[in-house]
Structure 1
């Protein structure tokens, strides 16, 4: 399948879980599609990029190790995504990555995620925390930053400051997640 054909296919991706999973499995079964999928995802001014982000998120949710050859590309460009419908899945992929890397179970990411990748994730997550993003992106970013903060001691003070500063102005969902993260940080 060419990039143009994949682009056409992405027009049929919708919000249903089954639909996104169908296309994610198509990409998992055809790993050569990941490169064009990322190219479409990072064509940030095109509305179809959001659909590519949804498929990429589901692909990573099903088979996270599929991202390993593309970590450089993903982390290098993820900060440029700005459409709400694309920021949420990209921030979710960051959460997947950090959960796998800092989790107790063995994962291939533990040997492939570099300092540079982590720095890019930290940068993007802090940007999503301080910018006017939807709650989901902020919630995924909180988790990612909390996990990475186990390794980088400067993250918790910065994250705490942002969470406490924004707490009163945010939604109930933000407050609930922020409470959980702050409680974990204070342990």
Structure 2
């Protein structure tokens, strides 16, 4: 984990078992999304909006299976916020754009305990630096957008116990990966959302 000023951009370009951006289907989509644009910012926006709008949030759409690996998120077109962030990072990295992972700790019911992590991304933009984006998927009460340098995320930390961490991870948190890999049904996963006391 690193604060934005400490992040190794090269580490945020690497493939991994979860961020398997060298998968041919991810490479194909990454090329399609970037083909109309020349700037990193425009390519990043295209990737963000595609994942936000074309990959369906597991709970919003009550879709199975629970996905984790980026290529599986693309294959099944569904995922929790964490999984969607894995695919977005893969598409960005496939286009040579450094991307990492950020987390918020939020109240599950919006009233206090219990809490869970919410996953999103940070992308490095030449004109802006590290910029957080949230592709969990919009709905009537959520309006996440790509508007650098101003962040427009899906959620904000408002309550005691909630945390909006500025830390950028080069890989997804292990407890997030473990939770996703331990369940196959969206409603089963809903009872075991990962939680962690994050830094401020």
Instruction: Report the TM-score, using the length of structure 2 for normalisation.
Output: 0.28
Between Structure 1 and Structure 2, the one with more helix by share is 1
Give the number of the structure whose residues are more often strand, by fraction. 2
- Answer 1 or 2: higher relative contact order, Cα 8 Å, separation at least 6: 2
Could you say which structure has the larger radius of gyration?
Answer: 1
Q: TM-score, normalising length from structure 1?
A: 0.29
